[in-house]
Structure 1
Amino acid sequence: MTSQVIFKVDRKLKEQALKKARKEGIAFASVLKLATKAYVSGALEVRLVAQPKLNAKTRRELLGISKEIRQGKNLSPAFENATDAIAYLKSFR
């Protein structure tokens, strides 16, 4: 015996899912059935994780640092051994 499940989903998301299922040669209903079975069996785990948001100051600092890295600024040189690295760090005293 089967049962019908009805739920709402964003139209664009549904269209994208249908398109992908069609491209892979599988009915979208089969995708949903397989996902449900995987969830019940423990093969699919759903976790809700909040996306961390940076404040404006931190975002600006990280963008600036990324720009400097791309430009090759404020980077330490490569070292052949630990002694050279320690000497380099001590030179900033």
Structure 2
Amino acid sequence: MTTQVIFTIDKKLKERVMKKARQEGVPFASIFEFAANAYVCGQFNVDLAGQEVFNDKTRRELIEISKDIKEGKNLSPRFKTIQEIKDYLNK
């Protein structure tokens, strides 16, 4: 038994989905049914996260760190062994 689901979607997105589904020979409604099944089975995740807002001090520090990385400054050397890492950290 099936049930009807009614929702709104951006018109351009709907057109793109319909076009791709048509090219692949898949009915439009099946796309959403596949997505719903994948979501229930844990094969499709929806992660919602807000944009991180930094205070002024943290923002300045991140800008400085990014600048240093681009200039190759204040970086640790590359290590080939665990012992090299331990020696470097124990200086």
TM-score, normalised on structure 2? Answer: 0.60
CA contact (8 A) 2:22 2:28 kept: yes
1:14-41 per-position Cα deviation (integer Å, ceiling 9, x unaligned): 233334434544232111122233445x
Aligned to 1:55: 54
How far apart, CA to CA, are the structure 1 residues paired with 2:52 and 2:19?
32
Structure 2 residue matching 1:78: 3-state secondary structure? coil
Deviation, 1:73, is: 0.9
CA contact (8 A) 1:69 1:75 kept: yes
Aligned to 1:86: 90
One-letter code of the match for 1:72? Answer: G
Query: What is the alpha-carbon root mean square deviation over aligned residues?
Result: 3.0
How far apart, CA to CA, are the structure 1 residues paired with 2:52 and 2:30?
36
CA contact (8 A) 1:39 1:45 kept: yes
Aligned residues: 86
Deviation, 1:7, is: 0.7
Identity of aligned residues (%): 48
TM-score, normalised on structure 1? Answer: 0.59
Aligned to 2:70: 70
| Structure 1 unaligned blocks of 5 or more | 88-93
| Structure 2 unaligned blocks of 5 or more | none
